[in-house]
């Protein structure tokens, strides 16, 4: 069996730190870089960022929707970006937030996690809101191929609590708590065969504040990585991350997208912003 994505990421974080740089070609960022809203600009933006940070960070996270808006040409840029990142030795997390049932979920899994797919990334984000077990095709394929998934658990968008906090007073806990527990069970099964971190991670927003405590969510049994968007431009500091995640902080891969990209397009500035963020997370 291939080494788990969790252990690959754990080793990369030990060597390079706890920062994941998001490659999010928002229209506003393209404008700030003096670029047009076209595929040529999409590629320039994406590859400039990758080349600036690939030797500094353990992982990058392309936001799939911002490539998808350019249609097949945008996906072609994403395919090339993922392949180039692989050659550069940086892990890739496709931020696709896929979730479905049956054969459709199997197809999504094959698209983002199968070695034969041109879109294959080292990990993909998934939405469990058709039921955690609906993700089974992706969970199993990730485990088989040494790839990973990050399952949305507790997000910091204003609408999130209307779903994720439901059931907080129930004996089994909130929806978010049940997702965390299911992910931990996946990694516990993986630990029986491989040890270390499993390939099932969680997405928990860096700005969720006291929600983990108020919902009585214990991350101690996860045995896997936590992807924490919201660091940097969205307002969360390294001190905030330590306060939110407590003893689980060492498992946190903080993501910064705009906070890094906004200083571009010059590579020197992008690298300096990345190094500053890494230092803050390590302090």
Q: Which residues are catalytic?
A: 97
* CB distance 94 to 123 below 8 Å: yes
Cα(125)–Cα(99) distance, integer angstroms: 9
Please give the C-alpha separations between residue 268 and each of 48, 58, 253, 261, in angstroms, as whole numbers. 11, 19, 23, 12
Residue 209 zone, left/alpha/beta (φ > 0; ψ -120 to 50; rest): left
CA triple 120-37-84, angle to 5 deg: 30
Cα(90)–Cα(184) distance, integer angstroms: 26
* CB distance 56 to 275 below 8 Å: yes
Please give the C-alpha separations between residue 175 and each of 70, 105, 161, 211, 221, in angstroms, as whole numbers. 35, 21, 10, 12, 17
Backbone φ and ψ for 193, nearest 5 degrees, come out as -110, -30
Give the position of tokens 């076209």. Answer: 38
Cα(279)–Cα(200) distance, integer angstroms: 27
Structure tokens at 21: 């740089």
């Amino acid at each position: 069996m291939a080494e788990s994505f969790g252990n690959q990421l754990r080793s990369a974080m030990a060597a390079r730190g706890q920062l994941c740089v998001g490659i999010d070609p928002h229209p506003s960022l393209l404008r700030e870089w003096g670029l047009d809203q076209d595929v040529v600009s999409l590629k320039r933006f994406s590859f400039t960022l990758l080349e600036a940070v690939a030797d500094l960070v353990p992982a990058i996270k392309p936001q799939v929707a911002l490539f998808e808006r350019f249609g097949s040409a945008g996906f072609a840029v994403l395919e090339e970006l993922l392949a180039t990142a692989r050659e550069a030795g940086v892990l890739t997390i496709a931020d696709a937030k896929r979730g479905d049932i049956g054969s459709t979920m199997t197809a999504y899994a094959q698209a983002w996690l199968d070695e034969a797919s041109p879109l294959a990334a080292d990990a993909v984000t998934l939405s469990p809101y058709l039921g955690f077990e609906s993700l089974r095709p992706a969970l199993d394929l990730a485990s088989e191929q040494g790839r990973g998934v990050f399952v949305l658990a507790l997000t910091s968008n204003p609408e999130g609590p209307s779903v994720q906090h439901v059931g907080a007073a129930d004996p089994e806990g909130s929806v978010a708590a049940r997702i965390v527990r299911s992910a931990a069970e996946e990694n516990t099964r993986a630990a029986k065969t491989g040890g270390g971190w499993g390939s099932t991670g969680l997405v928990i927003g860096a700005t969720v504040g006291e929600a983990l405590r108020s919902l009585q969510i214990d991350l101690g049994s996860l045995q896997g990585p936590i992807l924490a968007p919201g660091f940097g431009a969205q307002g969360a500091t390294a001190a905030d991350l330590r306060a939110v995640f407590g003893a689980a902080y060492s498992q946190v891969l903080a993501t910064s997208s705009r906070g890094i990209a906004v200083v571009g397009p010059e590579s020197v500035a992008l690298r300096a912003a990345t190094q500053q963020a890494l230092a803050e997370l390590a302090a």
